[in-house]
Chain A
């Protein structure tokens, strides 16, 4: 059996990220319709397990403009597949109650046998992971790769789009890669002459 670790997921995501981030992706056209509600702890925790990043780092208490990306992403998943996200969170609760480690939970959600988990739990796990990494919803890409995923994704969300400029800038792939997104940098002029910040400074510990 091929063991797919979170590191593999992140590395793969980083490798294919450039191709996925095709220029011209539209913005989330239905963003205004998203529910403005607090993401449940289960959503933050399953995100943490999938990414291998501490929940408090993913969703800090003090954040720019008090806008929680967890809330934004959760609101999107509720529109994209209310039953799918509810089922995923329920599955997470079961595994958490079984005291599985986060990496074991991630493994269970992302992998099935020698390949990816093609269930809707797998689909939404991938979509959530990619949202955090790229600030982008890859509904079309998911269905292209695994057509059966379409059954759990609402029609308006069976396409790829950038969630918002804030989501794009907040993409964790930039931090995993110890760099910054194109078009925005928190670093000063000449920073490229110095070594990048450590992953620990970002609060990242990879398995």
Chain B
């Protein structure tokens, strides 16, 4: 009897301790009890029905799961250091939306592709900040910081900056998940030498030797199966006039490189300061087994600007990048020029610059709106005061035509006939990151005077009424438009290449890799050119030019910097 009683006591103690330390009990506010996992998904369920709506909804839900998981607060050690894992104590309502999210612990492009191809610091150990931002430690090495460094302000395609109502430029950041970081470091792809080694058996550079790890579906969101993700974020610098409580907020080093984003604007002086920032846009790019062209999703803050449709009724909001007082509706359209590229010079330090009058042209697709409705309701139910209720999925882009070995259950590979995967949606843009890339709209006419056919239009009927980003009842987008000439994530990134010239698996950043010898477009070549003066650019050189023109790549930094 005594022995049995002791056993009962031990069992009770064991179960009691288990209950106390079970994550979902012990951490009531943390990700484990949220309505969503705090880990990104790995892929859509392979058993998803082979219909457009089912696939679309599955990818849109994957995007939302990723968005929520990545934006959970990062774990903080007792010493106050950020860890690259989701907090077990805090949820999406943590600190009124002013914190550091998991993805902010990921290395940024500037942490990986270092001058002189230096070996990157370990994953999650902090960010390399410019000398102007931080002091050197005792060993002479620049201290790492847990604050992200925002050093870009010109949009892709070199379209220019976006300027908020206070005259501040929107800032951009680019971060990479651990599977990507591990792959890059394992193969030394942060250096041109490592990239050349990758292509040793690819002399014609016509094979894609880079194969980032793809995520795989698991019913329990196994974090080991997440696969590769990279994110691009856009931020506004907050000041006293902003409605801060509506934004996800953080602190970042806002850095201007001397000479500007492309080292071609001498009026920009080197400058760095720690500033409060609010998230206005967020791209998530996720490689999965079902989507070898990656899954591209983008989110926005609801107050960035009005939709063009909204001018057919009364504007109901104050906007971050649109001043209705200076541009009231007239005849159902804005009375001012909108989405206009700011005048040069593009210098964020220049006072008195004209704010961008940002008008959203493309509304989310109907199915995106349906998923927004579902997730927004769940966020509001679980976290009534969360800032994340102010963000919506603009849309998602995924391949519709791939080859799958083994009858549909295996990993998909690109169909050589459709290397872009024939993506749907064919048009995808974020108003803060691809502001100046238009589509075609109902009512527009071609230069020859013909109306744009419906299957080329961005916006379907009804053409009036305000867009409701969390409801599928309002006007929505058909996501049409002409690929490449407008905005297709996949079509653009399919040209990304390593410094060797071979494909870099849709990741432009690999062309930022440096070596001790600098790339010189006028003389360097990875292929024999017969020594003649005139020759064809290698793929990498073309990609470098594209990146330079697109504003996704900076010129090589001066030696010693």
Binding site for B on A (CB under 8 A): 24, 26-29, 31-32, 34, 36, 60-67, 72, 163-167, 169, 175, 183-191, 193-194, 197-198, 201-202
Contact A66 B424 (CB under 8 A): yes
In Å, the complex CA distance between A165 and B484 comes to 12
B446: chain A residues within 8 A (beta carbon): 27
Contact B448 A27 (CB under 8 A): yes
Interface centre among B205, B451, B478 (most CB of A within 10 A): B451
- The answer to whether A186 and B419 touch (CB under 8 A), given A61-B51, A164-B453, is yes
Contact B455 A164 (CB under 8 A): yes
- Can you sample 18 A-B contacts with CB below 8 Å? A26-B448, A62-B55, A63-B424, A64-B423, A64-B424, A64-B425, A65-B426, A66-B53, A72-B455, A163-B453, A164-B456, A167-B453, A188-B495, A188-B539, A197-B415, A197-B416, A198-B416, A202-B417
A61: chain B residues within 8 A (beta carbon): 50-52
B193 at the interface (CB under 8 A from A): no
Closest 6 CB pairs of A and B: A164-B453, A31-B453, A201-B417, A197-B417, A197-B416, A27-B450
B206 at the interface (CB under 8 A from A): yes
- The answer to whether A190 and B450 touch (CB under 8 A), given A64-B423, A202-B417, is no
In Å, the complex CA distance between A84 and B467 comes to 41
Contact A67 B455 (CB under 8 A): yes
Partner of B206, one of A36, A164, A194: A194
B454: chain A residues within 8 A (beta carbon): 31-32, 34, 36, 164
Interface centre among B51, B450, B501, B503 (most CB of A within 10 A): B450
A31: chain B residues within 8 A (beta carbon): 451, 453-455
- The answer to whether A63 and B482 touch (CB under 8 A), given A27-B452, A31-B454, is no
* Chain A interface, >50% SS class: loop
Contact A175 B204 (CB under 8 A): no
Binding site for A on B (CB under 8 A): 50-53, 55-56, 204-206, 400-401, 415-420, 422-426, 446, 448, 450-456, 478-480, 482-485, 491, 494-495, 497, 501, 503, 539, 542-543
In Å, the complex CA distance between A34 and B79 comes to 67
Cβ distance A32 to chain B, nearest Cβ, rounded Å? 6
- The answer to whether A64 and B422 touch (CB under 8 A), given A188-B495, A189-B539, A189-B542, is yes
In Å, the complex CA distance between A185 and B491 comes to 9
Contact A189 B543 (CB under 8 A): yes
Cβ distance B445 to chain A, nearest Cβ, rounded Å? 9
A29: chain B residues within 8 A (beta carbon): 450-451
Contact A60 B450 (CB under 8 A): no
- The answer to whether A175 and B482 touch (CB under 8 A), given A27-B453, A32-B454, A165-B456, is no
Contact A166 B455 (CB under 8 A): yes
In Å, the complex CA distance between A141 and B411 comes to 47
Cβ distance A35 to chain B, nearest Cβ, rounded Å? 11
Known: A27-B451, A61-B52, A190-B501. 7 other contacts (CB 8 A): A27-B450, A27-B453, A32-B453, A64-B426, A184-B485, A193-B204, A201-B417
Cβ distance B457 to chain A, nearest Cβ, rounded Å? 9
Contact A63 B52 (CB under 8 A): yes
Cβ distance B314 to chain A, nearest Cβ, rounded Å? 28
Contact A166 B422 (CB under 8 A): no
What residue of chain B has the Cβ atom nearest to residue A187's Cβ?
B419
What residue of chain A has the Cβ atom nearest to residue B546's Cβ?
A189
In Å, the complex CA distance between A166 and B482 comes to 7
Contact B455 A167 (CB under 8 A): yes
B451: chain A residues within 8 A (beta carbon): 27, 29, 31-32
A183: chain B residues within 8 A (beta carbon): 485
Cβ distance A22 to chain B, nearest Cβ, rounded Å? 14
- The answer to whether A60 and B206 touch (CB under 8 A), given A31-B454, A201-B415, A201-B416, is no
Contact B495 A189 (CB under 8 A): yes
B401: chain A residues within 8 A (beta carbon): 60, 62
In Å, the complex CA distance between A2 and B539 comes to 49
Cβ distance B529 to chain A, nearest Cβ, rounded Å? 14
What residue of chain B has the Cβ atom nearest to residue A178's Cβ?
B417
Cβ distance B397 to chain A, nearest Cβ, rounded Å? 10
Contact B448 A62 (CB under 8 A): no
In Å, the complex CA distance between A185 and B482 comes to 11
Contact A65 B478 (CB under 8 A): yes
Contact B482 A165 (CB under 8 A): yes
A166: chain B residues within 8 A (beta carbon): 453, 455-456, 480, 482
Partner of A190, one of B206, B400, B425, B478: B206
Contact B420 A186 (CB under 8 A): yes
What residue of chain A has the Cβ atom nearest to residue B400's Cβ?
A62
In Å, the complex CA distance between A143 and B491 comes to 39
A66: chain B residues within 8 A (beta carbon): 52-53, 56, 424
A36: chain B residues within 8 A (beta carbon): 454
Cβ distance A64 to chain B, nearest Cβ, rounded Å? 5
Interface centre among A27, A167, A186 (most CB of B within 10 A): A186
What residue of chain B has the Cβ atom nearest to residue A191's Cβ?
B419
- The answer to whether A184 and B415 touch (CB under 8 A), given A28-B453, A31-B454, A65-B479, is no
In Å, the complex CA distance between A174 and B368 comes to 32
Partner of B400, one of A63, A189, A194, A201: A63
In Å, the complex CA distance between A31 and B442 comes to 11
In Å, the complex CA distance between A184 and B495 comes to 14
A24: chain B residues within 8 A (beta carbon): 448
In Å, the complex CA distance between A82 and B105 comes to 62
In Å, the complex CA distance between A32 and B426 comes to 21
Contact A62 B542 (CB under 8 A): no
Contact B400 A64 (CB under 8 A): yes
- The answer to whether A62 and B50 touch (CB under 8 A), given A26-B450, A188-B503, is yes
A193: chain B residues within 8 A (beta carbon): 204, 206
Partner of A169, one of B52, B416, B423, B482: B482
- The answer to whether A60 and B419 touch (CB under 8 A), given A27-B446, A164-B453, A165-B456, is no
In Å, the complex CA distance between A67 and B50 comes to 16
Cβ distance A21 to chain B, nearest Cβ, rounded Å? 16
What residue of chain A has the Cβ atom nearest to residue B418's Cβ?
A186
Cβ distance B426 to chain A, nearest Cβ, rounded Å? 5
What residue of chain B has the Cβ atom nearest to residue A194's Cβ?
B206
- The answer to whether A186 and B448 touch (CB under 8 A), given A31-B453, A65-B424, A66-B424, is no
In Å, the complex CA distance between A65 and B448 comes to 26
